[in-house]
Structure 1
Amino acid sequence: MKIFVCNLFKTYTVASTVRAMKRMGISVVEKTYYTPEDLYQDEALQAMVEKDVAAAGVDAVFTVNYWPVVARACKSLGMKYLAWSYDSPQNLPTTETMEYETNYIFLFDREEVRRYREKGLTNVYHLLLAVDSEHLQEILGGQVEYQYDVSFVGSMYQSDLPALMSQMSAYERGYLQAVMAAQEKIYGYYMVDDLLTESHLDAINEEYRVRTLEAAKSTGMEISENQILKVSMEQLSYAIATQVTHIDRLSLLHMLSKNRKVAVWTDEKQLTNSDRELLANAKIMGWADYDTEMPQIFAKSKINLNPSLRIIRSGIPLRALDIMGAGGFLLSSFQAELMEHFQNGKECVMYNGLEDAISKVQYYILHKDEREAIAKAGCEKVRREFRYEDRIGEMMRIAGLEM
């Protein structure tokens, strides 16, 4: 079998996927392109992909995450297109192109798959993420010594919500603040979509429209309707999720760093002055390379935090598997599928709120043997049951590709 791996953006999992494909005896043609500004329409990029795929003589095209422009190229060629995403939700404003019969779209979040299926998209499938055990063994080698008490690796998420709320009416701002306050208290269930209504969205967009037209009139500018900001339900929901996650992560790291040595690997450019003040007692390490540095961090940390992005409704985030695959102790916010596949307290540990997380950090820092037994069991589970080869084999089976 021969697969064309198409890279349009630097992604975490493509190297591991390609390594696993080659171990399985799959011939891989890999090509890197530029990231299109318009995810749906880029005639030059589509033409390049079509030309290269046609010349390569492959059985299917694969990308990490779903790219509409690649879907268009594959539809034009009558070529099967397999996309496996580690992001949730998909960074797509519409479902345009997703219905193509040539598509096989694999998502790690079962609830997100259900939502797409309810829209009539039958070519979207649930597929758990994976760990590259062979690569991890090469990177980590033998026994490693602890260097950090508590570690966090990930984004701090600077949300668009504060900017969006600055142009809303007092009522709508108050309503969204109440929605966020409710969501902050609930782990394992994303309730925001249940609380946002079309009437709220219409009121918000009408407020944007009125304010924009008034501002244009006061300055003598002419402005057309299509130049006025209009937010979609998906955009508003994501903005709320990232804001709540930002608060989650800052609050947890701030509280823990008062009494524990906390190390944070994140994009420092994302941190505001206020963020830095809250993290004054933590050690800010900058960003870490996914393939080479992250496994070392997870293995050398007594406790690894995974406060999940709140809009991941049920799935096991990639970071949780990364931590366990490297032999690290995972302390994660509650996720339904994590609970289904791992024994809480035996293969990983989950928390249901800020106070619970702090309490569990204090406990497991002091109970080394119990902590290390959990980390060992979690590592054995992911290396046995979350192999890239098994996931790739499942994709190929669903797509009707003979191995």
Structure 2
Amino acid sequence: MNIIFYRYKSICEPDFIDAFKVLGIDVIEDIQGMSPSVTLDEKIIHLGNLIAANHPLFVFSINYYPFIAMLCEKLHVFYVAVTVDCPVFEIFNTSVRSKFNRLFLFDKEQYNLIHDENPDCIFHMPLGAACTRLSTLLGNTSDYRYDISFVGSLYNEKDPLEKLLVKNSLPFSVKEQFAAAINSQLESEVFGYKRIKESLTSNVLSDIKNADPDFYPSNMSVFDISEYVTLNDYLCPHATYLERVKILNMIAENNYSANGYKLHLFTQSNTKTLSDKMMIHGGVDSLKEMPFVFRQSKINLNITTRSITSGLSQRIWDVLACKGFLITNYQPEIDLYFKDGEHLITYHNYTELIDKIHYYLEHAQERETIAQRGFEEVCANGRVLNRVLEIFKIITSSN
């Protein structure tokens, strides 16, 4: 039994390949997506030839590719796609309606938006962790090197709205409105973008769309996604950037330093807006170095990007699988998989975050007990292998 795995260098690919192999599946890797010089036509021809030569149970990819869906529909082969990002605008392509698709989305709100377009073929499934790989890599590592850590982008390099602001492409009135809407969101609730959406008029949203010639189009989508794109590709990254800078500066400027505690940031982003009271490191390799940061930090922070409105980001699963202690903003789906105070710690506002950092820095035994329980829960029910088994259950029930 074999599958074809379409690859494009996602950091999640190796763990899914390992999980398939554990189940005795022969994984045929299509690496055409790794080369920027390969044209779409060449990718289609190459994948079509692989399908014809190998008769796979299904073609698999991390995130969703409409051209694969259309090719698999033509050849009557299942296409399984697992999203690890949110948003993924390609899931709104008309190809999502194919009966040969098996699409798995980790964010329930995103799932709700598209599920009715193909209700028998679109599923909600959380992300997972590679517990075996991480445990093997980390071994008996137990020493602490960092007090409070955050690993990730500040999102300023992923902020097209900032580029529009720099170019002065938006009217002043529009800038005022979305600035007020974002500020209201950040002050009122920790997750999502509901208040941003409610605060902005359609005119403001269309002004942002019209200001960028590279705005993601809706002409191949099942419905007009212009508002969704504006919120998720412009306003959410900008809000995420503002929030991460605000939280990190707030922590760095707090009085942890009086007890010798330091905030450590691992990022490749431009850090010019950050306090000089934190320790700023460069980026770390996601597979080889990041797990050691998670294991060797007394407190790991998760600040979910605003476009993930309900689901749990990959960072949550990875920190727990490294036996790291995690404080994360509350997300609606946390309660489906974990118990606050038993497996991890959540915060609902910034004051609560500061207070909980203070508390758990001073209560090592509680912190380590929670980290151990979180690790055990992820390894019991949250492995990538668990997700792959669920995929096979659904695929086999479809035949």
What is the TM-score normalised by the length of structure 2? 0.88
1:395 aligns with 391
SS of equivalent residue, structure 1 residue 399: helix
Partner of 1:237: 231
Counterpart of 1:235, as a letter, is V
CA distance in 2, matches of 1:236, 1:38: 30
For residue 83 of structure 1, the aligned residue among 73, 81, 84 is 81
1:217-236 alignment, distance < 5 Å: 232-236=226-230
8 Å Cα contact 1:148/1:300 also seen in 2: yes
Q: CA deviation at 1:83?
A: 0.5
Residue pairs, 1:350-361, within 5 angstroms? 350-361=346-357
CA contact (8 A) 2:3 2:28 kept: yes
Q: Secondary structure of 2:264's partner?
A: strand
Residue 181, structure 1, aligned to residue 183, structure 2: yes
Q: How far has the Cα of 1:104 moved from its partner?
A: 0.8
Using the TM superposition, give the Cα deviation of residue 240 of structure 1 relative to its aligned residue in structure 2, in angstroms.
Answer: 1.0
User: Against the structure 1 CA distance between its residues 149 and 160, is the aligned structure 2 distance closer, same or farther, given a 3 Å change threshold?
Assistant: same
User: Which amino acid in structure 2 is aligned with residue 328 of structure 1?
Assistant: G
Secondary structure in structure 1 of the residue aligned to 2:97: coil
* Cα-to-partner distance string for 1:193-219 (whole Å, 9 max, x where unaligned): 34444343345556x49xxxxxxxxxx
1:33 aligned to 2:27? no
For the residue of structure 2 that corresponds to 1:278, the secondary structure is coil
Structure 1 residue aligned with 2:197, among 178, 193, 196? Answer: 193
Where does 1:127-276 land on structure 2 (aligned, <5 Å)? 127-158=125-156, 159-165=159-165, 166-185=168-187, 186-191=189-194, 192-204=196-208, 208=211, 232-238=226-232, 239-258=234-253, 259=257, 260-267=261-268, 270-271=269-270, 275-276=271-272
- Per-residue deviation, 1:189: 3.9
Asked if residue 21 in structure 1 is aligned to residue 20 in structure 2, the reply is yes
Higher mean displacement: 98-107 or 84-93: 84-93
Distance of 1:340 and 1:390 partners within structure 2: 15
Q: Is the 8 A contact 2:97 2:117 kept in 1?
A: no
With 28-37 and 227-236 compared, the bigger mean Cα shift is at: 227-236
Deviation at 1:179, TM superposition (A): 1.1
Q: In 2, Cα distance between the equivalents of 1:230 and 1:390?
A: 34
* Residues 74 and 196 (structure 1), Cα distance of their counterparts in 2 relative to 1, 3 Å cut: farther
Corresponding residue for residue 222 of structure 2:
none
- Trace 1:34-73 onto structure 2 (pairs within 5 A): 34=33, 42-73=40-71
Contact 1:98 1:121 in 2 (8 A): no
CA distance in 2, matches of 1:230, 1:142: 47
Instruction: Indicate conservation of the 8 Å contact 2:192/2:308, yes or no.
Output: no
| Maintained 8 Å contact 1:324/1:378 | yes
CA contact (8 A) 2:209 2:230 kept: no
Tell me: CA distance 1:230–1:20, structure 2 relative to 1, closer, same or farther (3 Å).
closer
Q: What's the offset of the Cα at 1:131?
A: 1.2
Q: CA deviation at 1:60?
A: 0.7
- Measure how far apart 1:180 and its partner are: 0.4
The match for 2:2 is: 2
The answer as to whether partners of 2:60 and 2:81 remain within 8 angstroms in 1 is yes
Identity of aligned residues (%): 28
Paired residue total: 378
SS at 2:27's partner residue? strand
Shift of residue 135 of structure 1?
A: 0.8
When the two structures are superposed, what TM-score results if normalisation uses the length of structure 1? 0.87
Does the aligned pair in 2 maintain the 1:109–1:313 contact within 8 Å?
Answer: yes
Q: Which 10-residue stretch deviates more, 158-167 or 44-53?
A: 158-167
Residue 343 of structure 1 is matched in structure 2 by 339
DSSP 3-state at the match of 1:86: coil
Deviation above 6 Å: which 4+ runs of structure 1? 36-39, 227-231
Would the aligned equivalents of 1:169 and 1:204 in 2 still touch at CA under 8 Å? Answer: no
Distance in structure 2 (CA, Å) of the matches to 1:401 and 1:297: 41
d(CA) in 2 for partners of 1:230, 1:133: 37
**Contact preservation (8 Å) 1:396, 1:402:** no
In structure 2, what is the equivalent of residue 95 of structure 1?
93
Kindly state the Cα deviation for residue 229 of structure 1 after the two structures are TM-superposed. Answer: 6.8
Ranges in structure 1 where 5+ consecutive residues have no aligned partner: 210-226
Aligned partner of 1:219 in structure 2 is none
> Unaligned stretches of 5+ in structure 2?
218-225
Cα distance, 1:291 vs structure 2? 1.8
Q: How far apart, in 2, do the equivalents of 1:355 and 1:49 lie?
A: 52
